[in-house]
């Protein structure tokens, strides 16, 4: 008689794809021996130093640490730094990152489309990135709500999310939002000019203020009057904009040109809120003093320039100049491949402007 084939189910991996775990790693006690520790604080770099990691936390830093039962890693000739945070990333997003159909899409959320199986999580962990700020794209003045994640490879989308973090939202300025390079089939959506972009912001925040006022008026009614009145319809778009005005949601804004950077700060001043971050910000060196006065941070490219018209006046000393004025500066990736070597991007601040290695 014919021999029957044996049917065997394959193993499930976490995530169930290449480079997944057969089982999730368990928490260990680890001692890293004889390495150079970058504290990035007043202690500076500690040479030939040990680090004890216990219960998922750094428990001790010092010399000649011995912990019974600990896994020992020889750090001789190597450097140990804090994990890198990428302020501007588009990894781990399922489907398109842009909702381009309207000029204001504050109601959409990156949190709803996180792809926990993206191999870029694995690759960027290997490059020292431990946290990524996942942003909506830059095709509209007010884009979607962002999501900060911890790169916990093998866990679910919900388990990647930071708990109780202050919510952010993506804004954008310039050529992308007025669809300068989007082709002949994209010439009807408002705005199509830089002045239209500014007016889009004023219109959106004015609507949000009116929305809040209407809710406040309705809530102030007596119980009897509420039964007679028409309730205010919930609007997720206006909820997000109102959070910005009330300091409960923060802006990270795609930006290049000094005139538009000034414009958005003026809009924010008009509605009494602060722009948290200008990202890319390649002409930030021209308005560093104004950004400092406003309280905005800068998340810059290290040395990208001349890839489209509005970045022709970008310079690699941008980060250095902003830093020297007192603006909080980061370098971001905006690119899945570049995020694997953000330590080298940071080092460009040493090359262009002589920022100290510690500060870089």
The two three-digit tokens of residue 271, written as one number: 């509605």
User: What are the per-10-residue average pLDDT scores of the chain (360 residues)?
Assistant: 74 90 93 97 95 96 96 97 96 95 97 97 96 97 98 96 96 93 83 96 98 96 93 97 98 97 98 98 97 98 90 96 97 96 96 94
Q: What is the pLDDT of residue 181?
A: 82
In this structure, how many other beta carbons lie within 10 angstroms of the beta carbon of residue 310? 18
Does residue 109 sit in helix, strand or coil?
strand
12-43 per-position pLDDT tens digit: 899 998 899 999 989 999 999 999 999 999 99
Whether the full predicted model's pTM is greater than 0.75, yes or no, is: yes
Residues 6+ apart with CB under 8 A from 259: 194
Per the CB < 8 A criterion, the answer to whether 61 and 51 are in contact is yes
Under 8 Å between Cβ of 210 and 218: no
Paired residues of 84 in beta bridges? 129
What's the pLDDT score for residue 1?
58
Q: What is the pLDDT of residue 2?
A: 65
What's the token pair of residue 351? 């090359």
Neighbours of 86 (CB within 10 A): 26
What CA–CA distances, in Å, run from 344 to 38, 339, 350, 360? Answer: 15, 10, 10, 10
- Please, where are the H alpha helices in the chain? 119-126, 157-160, 194-219, 223-228, 236-245, 258-270, 288-294, 318-325, 342-351
pLDDT tens track for 300-335:
999 998 888 999 999 999 999 999 999 999 999 999
Both tokens assigned to 142:
């007010």
What average pLDDT does the chain have? 95
d(C-alpha 355, C-alpha 302), whole Å? 13
């Amino acid at each position: 008689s014919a021999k029957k084939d044996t049917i065997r189910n394959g193993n499930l991996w976490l995530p169930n794809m290449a480079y997944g775990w057969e089982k999730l790693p368990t928490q260990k006690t680890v001692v890293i021996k004889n390495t150079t520790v970058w504290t990035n604080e007043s202690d500076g770099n500690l040479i030939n130093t040990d680090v004890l990691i216990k219960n998922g936390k750094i428990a001790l830093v010092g010399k000649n640490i011995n912990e019974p039962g600990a896994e020992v890693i020889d750090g001789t000739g190597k450097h140990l730094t804090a994990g890198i945070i990428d302020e501007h990333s588009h990894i781990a997003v399922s489907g398109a990152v842009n909702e381009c159909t309207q000029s204001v899409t504050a109601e959409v959320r990156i949190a709803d489309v996180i792809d926990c199986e993206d191999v870029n999580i694995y690759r960027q962990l290997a490059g020292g990135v431990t946290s990524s700020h996942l942003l909506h794209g830059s095709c509209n003045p007010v884009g979607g709500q962002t999501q900060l994640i911890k790169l916990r490879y093998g866990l679910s989308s919900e388990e990647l999310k930071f708990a109780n973090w202050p919510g952010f939202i993506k804004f954008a300025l310039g050529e992308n939002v007025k669809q300068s390079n989007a082709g002949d089939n994209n010439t009807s959506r408002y705005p199509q000019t830089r002045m239209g972009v500014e007016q889009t912001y004023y219109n959106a925040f004015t609507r949000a203020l009116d929305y809040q006022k209407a809710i406040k008026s309705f809530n102030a009614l007596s119980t009897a009057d509420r039964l007679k009145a028409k309730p205010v319809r919930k609007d997720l778009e206006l909820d997000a904009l109102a959070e910005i005005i009330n300091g409960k949601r923060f802006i990270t804004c795609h930006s290049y040109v000094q005139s538009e950077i000034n414009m958005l700060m003026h809009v924010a001043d008009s509605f009494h809120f602060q722009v948290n971050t200008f990202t890319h910000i390649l002409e930030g060196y021209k308005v560093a003093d104004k950004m400092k006065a406003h309280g905005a941070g800068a998340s810059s490219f290290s040395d990208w320039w001349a890839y489209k018209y509005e970045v022709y006046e970008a310079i690699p000393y941008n980060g250095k100049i902003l830093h020297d004025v007192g603006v909080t500066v980061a370098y971001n990736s905006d690119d899945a491949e570049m995020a694997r070597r953000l330590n080298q991007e940071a080092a460009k601040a040493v090359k262009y402007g002589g920022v100290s290695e510690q500060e870089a």
